[in-house]
Structure 1
Amino acid sequence: MAHTAHVDTFTRDNLPPRDQWPAFLLNRPELQYPERLNCAVAFLDRWVDEGRGNEPCLISPAETLTYRELQERVNRICNVLVHRFGLVPGNRVLLRSANNPMMVAAYLAVLKAGGVVVATMPLLRAREIAFPLNKAGIGIALCDHRLSDEMERARVMAPELRHVAYWGSDRPDGLEALIAEASPEFDAVDTAADDVCLIAFTSGTTGEPKGTMHVHRDMLAICDAYSGNVLRPEPTDRFIGSPPLAFTFGLGGLVLFPMRVGASTVLLERAGPDDLLPAIAQYGATICFTAPTAYRAMLAKLENHDFSSLRRCVSAGEPLPKDTFDSWRNATGLKLMDGIGATEMLHIFIAATEEEIRPGATGRPVPGYEARIIDDEGRPLPPGSIGRLAVRGPTGCRYLADERQRKYVQNGWNVTGDTYLMDEDGFFWYQARSDDMIISAGYNIAGPEVEAALLTHPAIAECGVVGAPDDGRGAVVKAYVVLRSDARPSAELTKALQDHVKAEIAPYKYPRLIEYVDALPRTQTGKLQRFQLRQLAAQQSHETIIS
């Protein structure tokens, strides 16, 4: 590791032991990086230095920023962070907002000032926000004022949080007022290429979420490996999409990939299917990032919108059904570019260029990555075998002070928790998730987290939460509930339980289906057998379709 620029060495102090790291492959020409590197310079400052500062960068319904205008805003935020809030390199900064230009400016400012970004989903509730605040020892938060209620509730649970600044309001201590007084000049901190700059928290498949640590070099590597070799954008491209910037899928697809080539991006706070299609036409978007669910939903609406500007459509976040691929190609003439990524890997590591796409297959390893199928003991399996997916490349898993590092990284390989088959030609075919994560409309939802929220309701004695197959969303959250003796099943109780979960955790995680049962399947040691519930949910869904 190069000499760190971090004055606050928290992230380095909490990296996994080196013998638990995955192998990092940086042997391709495009993946050669200098030892000293601040990725904000590569994404932003270089374009101003090269005379392209007047080119559009961030476009939204509220404002458009050129690269030079964004640079000035980023520099002002850097000065606020450093001179007003006392940020030193290595400090962690929480960011909370929907997708908008100020969120991107704050993100880049933290990177440029040598800080470490921790971005969170806008829909999270206070206790979900408090977890990363405490786990990552965060002292500064920048937040959209519309999210202040939950932020303030979380604030009292996080004793290390010293400063919170809100933007979008007229408050005299608001971020806009502070940056108006700050200098527009700021020299990027001379960080090491392997200084941590991002802690991205997973959705938490079991137990508490895991903080995945990524370094400045990683932010460029996902661009130069996947985007440069597979997506192949041009400076004239205009990106658009739905994933939140707190998801690394959204960060790459809507910020890093366009800015790596000097292109522009359209940022929408509301980006559902009904919002995406008119925005594609309005802004002339050429590259779209969203989940298969959204592409399916847009199919019925295409005839009412002009989508002729599109030339690339990327699908990730959940498995892409072949029927969706075929229907989209028939309707638009465009092939959906499928891909699989992971928060631990930062972005997509298996995909295919348009020319190599095989409908139904995820693709082949992105240049710079290697992948294979392994058995339960970690031994490689031959083509045609179903097993666990293992991958390694320029990015990889480094959990923040977490014993689960030993499970994710095995013998230098990242074991993603996905079950796959590799064919004779090296194409990878998705089979299923290997854990209890529910993927619904592109969102990762942890069954145990929903169970924990339900169990805080006084009517519930026990519950088990799994994904039930759903044509529209891929899967929906279904709860099997055992009530206390003084409670009775009813439509009113079902609604009350759903509302209760929405108030406890992010609303999109609530159980859309609730079934009342007398008992849950358990092992002799008392462990809940979710696989039996998944089988039951799948059987019930099948019976519903037949009837």
Structure 2
Amino acid sequence: MEATGLIDHFARNNLPPQEQWPVLLLDNNPDVAYPDRLNAATELLGAQIERGLGDNVALQWLENNEEKQITYKELDNLSNQIAHVFVDEMGLVSGNRILLRGPNNLMMAASWLAALKVGLVTVPTMPLLRAVELKTILDKAEIQAAVCDAHLADELNFCMDAAHPSHSAFLKTALFFNDNDPQSLDSLAKTKSTEFTACDTAADDVCLIAFTSGTTGQPKGCMHFHRDVLIMCDTFGKHILRLTPEDKVCGTPPLAFTFGLGGLLCFPLRVGASSVLAQGLTPKTMLEYVDRFGITMTFTAPTFYRQMAGLVNNYSLASLKNTVSAGEALPQATRELWKAASGIEMIDGIGGTEMIHVYVSSRPENVRPGAIGQVVPGFQAQVVDDNLQPVPNGTVGRLAVRGPSGCRYLSDPRQMQFVQDGWNLPGDTFTMDDDGYLFYQARNDDMIISSGYNIAGPEVEDCLLKHPAVSECGVVGVPDDLRGQILKAYIILKEGHYPDDDLAKELQDFVKQNAAPYKYPRAIEFVDDLPRTETGKLQRFMLRKMALTS
């Protein structure tokens, strides 16, 4: 590890022991041959200005239905002003942790860049988190400072209230933005110089702690270095997305989610492209944004594309060239539906917070039906058994992956579960074909064993989605005395279709006719909505809970 440029050594001191790290593939790869000292924010902004792209539009957004924009040079200046506020008004020094809380807007993006320039360790958080969840993060990362959108102030204020159950003793100071108060971050930034000398950080200084959703227990803090921010840009971004300065991106994932941080901020900034930031997008408004702003690439979850497919005929979409799906498995039925509606072959990908971004994907021209793709250049993957031994191609097993980035949990014994024998084990079940294409089966804990058969819930969901009555669905295993487990499907119907026993039987027969008969759902429940995370992931554990209580 390089000599740190940080004053506060908390993050480095709470990295796992190096013998618990995965193997990092950094040598002999010019894509990730970075200098020992680098600051990711300087590379994302300053490098583009030096290339002569300072007048390129970096970010765009709508404000009271009026189009607004900021250039690279203006964003660099604004982030410098915010950096001064962090140092002068909040008294922060490099290595301090700062919680960032806000939707996808200018100040959230600029604050993240500013924090990196100061050498702070950023901890972005999902806008919908409650005070009790924020407290867990604040305490785990011993976070001293926070900046927050004024519209989300309430839950954070609870964490600063000594009388509240969610009070965090670590959090000492907070500023709010998108607020006209004289002491707001916005107002204070306006008084500061637009010049700021970025911290001389090491490439392997921690700059980001990205917390997992915590749906299976306490959230895990994934620690990423300044070089990791560039790695996601120079692997998946460079080889699969191939953005250019002429591109304009938009999407739904929050900047607090590394899918959104990469796709909607870092990837476009790395090449001098533009990002359109939006809050509360719906399938309809996403399509409106594409036409209004001339979007060339979108980022969202499979369910969004499925819903947009039925609306595309109302829009031109002349500018749209690429659509990126991640966050959860893309059903083949959704891929086919979207292509039939839009003419665009989806870029699918699987990644994870632990790895910072996507490590398996394919360019549209290299798509193979049913497969997510091959490993992104710079990464390696294999499918292994429970003893970490590679299984024959075509055999179901656990995915093991390694590359230039990898899992380093913040002071967490679960490090040894995720990293074994130098490989990252994301918890996904896959098969691989002879050409290295990887076919997703399920999360390891979502495999359903019924009468001795191993059944992947997502495979059955994909089959059901091909039925003309099905809008969305989720399939889980529920206990059964005779078979161990049976499959239960929770189904949202399309408009014009009505739930009854005849339709349930029709759907069961449809699965029997289009998949192995033992994979049909023996129980079907029609519902109005499905439990999803803020990033669009189906919460199958919630469906399992529902099944146990119904």
TM-score bracket for this pair, using the shorter chain length: 0.7 to 0.9
Say whether residues 1:21 and 2:21 are aligned partners: yes
Which residue, out of 268, 272, 292, partners 1:262?
Answer: 272
Residues 98-247 of structure 1: pairs in structure 2 closer than 5 A:
98-156=103-161, 157-247=167-257
> C-alpha distance in 1, partners of 2:353/2:488?
21
> C-alpha distance in 1, partners of 2:313/2:541?
33
Equivalence for 1:96: 101
Equivalence for 1:463: none
Which residue, out of 373, 390, 398, partners 1:380?
Answer: 390
Asked whether the equivalents of residues 205 and 436 of structure 1 are also in contact (C-alpha less than 8 Å), the reply is no
> C-alpha distance in 1, partners of 2:327/2:433?
23
Structure 2: segments with no counterpart, 5+ residues:
162-166, 448-456, 462-473, 477-486, 495-528
How far does the alpha carbon of each residue in 1:314-357 deviate from its partner, in whole angstroms, 9 at most, with x for none? 11111111111112112211100110000000000000012211
> C-alpha distance in 1, partners of 2:119/2:535?
34
> C-alpha distance in 2, partners of 1:278/1:304?
9
Equivalence for 1:518: none
Say whether residues 1:41 and 2:51 are aligned partners: no
Residues 378-527 of structure 1: pairs in structure 2 closer than 5 A:
378-435=388-445, 469-470=490-491
> C-alpha distance in 2, partners of 1:351/1:507?
19
What one-letter code is carried by the residue in structure 1 that aligns with 2:442? A
What one-letter code is carried by the residue in structure 1 that aligns with 2:304? A
User: Secondary structure of the residue that 2:80 maps to in structure 1?
Assistant: helix
Count how many residue pairs are aligned between Structure 1 and Structure 2: 473
Equivalence for 1:458: none
How far does the alpha carbon of each residue in 1:105-136 deviate from its partner, in whole angstroms, 9 at most, with x for none? 00000011101110000011110111111110
How far does the alpha carbon of each residue in 1:213-262 deviate from its partner, in whole angstroms, 9 at most, with x for none? 00000000111111101111111000111101110000000001101100
Equivalence for 1:370: 380
Say whether residues 1:8 and 2:14 are aligned partners: no
User: Secondary structure of the residue that 2:350 maps to in structure 1?
Assistant: strand
> C-alpha distance in 1, partners of 2:31/2:422?
22
Asked whether the equivalents of residues 362 and 374 of structure 2 are also in contact (C-alpha less than 8 Å), the reply is yes
Asked whether the equivalents of residues 237 and 243 of structure 2 are also in contact (C-alpha less than 8 Å), the reply is yes
> C-alpha distance in 2, partners of 1:534/1:138?
36
Equivalence for 1:527: none
What one-letter code is carried by the residue in structure 1 that aligns with 2:383? I
What one-letter code is carried by the residue in structure 2 that aligns with 1:370? Q
> C-alpha distance in 2, partners of 1:331/1:344?
34
- Root-mean-square deviation (CA, aligned residues, Å) is 2.9
User: Secondary structure of the residue that 2:91 maps to in structure 1?
Assistant: coil
Asked whether the equivalents of residues 97 and 144 of structure 1 are also in contact (C-alpha less than 8 Å), the reply is yes
The change in CA–CA distance for 1:471 and 1:421 in structure 2 (over 3 A counts) is farther
Shift of 1:50: 2.6
Equivalence for 2:85: 80
Say whether residues 1:326 and 2:336 are aligned partners: yes
> C-alpha distance in 2, partners of 1:411/1:387?
16
> C-alpha distance in 2, partners of 1:330/1:387?
32
What one-letter code is carried by the residue in structure 1 that aligns with 2:127? P
Shift of 1:378: 1.1
Asked whether the equivalents of residues 253 and 535 of structure 2 are also in contact (C-alpha less than 8 Å), the reply is no
Moved beyond 6 Å, runs of 4+: 436-440, 505-515, 533-537
> C-alpha distance in 1, partners of 2:268/2:488?
34
> C-alpha distance in 1, partners of 2:537/2:236?
30
How far does the alpha carbon of each residue in 1:389-419 deviate from its partner, in whole angstroms, 9 at most, with x for none? 0100011000000000000000000000000
The change in CA–CA distance for 1:66 and 1:468 in structure 2 (over 3 A counts) is farther
User: Secondary structure of the residue that 2:381 maps to in structure 1?
Assistant: strand
Asked whether the equivalents of residues 362 and 372 of structure 2 are also in contact (C-alpha less than 8 Å), the reply is yes
Asked whether the equivalents of residues 98 and 269 of structure 1 are also in contact (C-alpha less than 8 Å), the reply is yes
> C-alpha distance in 2, partners of 1:414/1:422?
17
User: Secondary structure of the residue that 2:354 maps to in structure 1?
Assistant: coil
The change in CA–CA distance for 1:178 and 1:373 in structure 2 (over 3 A counts) is same
The change in CA–CA distance for 1:513 and 1:289 in structure 2 (over 3 A counts) is closer
> C-alpha distance in 2, partners of 1:176/1:361?
46
Shift of 1:155: 2.2
> C-alpha distance in 2, partners of 1:186/1:132?
29
Equivalence for 1:308: 318
> C-alpha distance in 2, partners of 1:508/1:334?
21
What one-letter code is carried by the residue in structure 1 that aligns with 2:391? L
Equivalence for 2:58: 57
User: Secondary structure of the residue that 1:271 maps to in structure 2?
Assistant: coil
> C-alpha distance in 2, partners of 1:80/1:223?
28
Asked whether the equivalents of residues 383 and 430 of structure 2 are also in contact (C-alpha less than 8 Å), the reply is yes
Equivalence for 1:344: 354
Equivalence for 1:452: none
Shift of 1:536: 7.6
> C-alpha distance in 2, partners of 1:47/1:58?
14
How far does the alpha carbon of each residue in 1:150-174 deviate from its partner, in whole angstroms, 9 at most, with x for none? 1101223111111110011221211
User: Secondary structure of the residue that 2:435 maps to in structure 1?
Assistant: coil
More moved, 505-514 vs 8-17: 505-514
> C-alpha distance in 1, partners of 2:141/2:70?
32
Asked whether the equivalents of residues 328 and 537 of structure 2 are also in contact (C-alpha less than 8 Å), the reply is no
Equivalence for 1:495: none
> C-alpha distance in 2, partners of 1:324/1:508?
15
User: Secondary structure of the residue that 1:407 maps to in structure 2?
Assistant: helix
> C-alpha distance in 1, partners of 2:85/2:58?
23
Which residue, out of 296, 301, 314, partners 1:286?
Answer: 296
> C-alpha distance in 2, partners of 1:334/1:507?
23
> C-alpha distance in 2, partners of 1:103/1:50?
25
> C-alpha distance in 2, partners of 1:287/1:246?
20
Percent identity over the alignment is 48
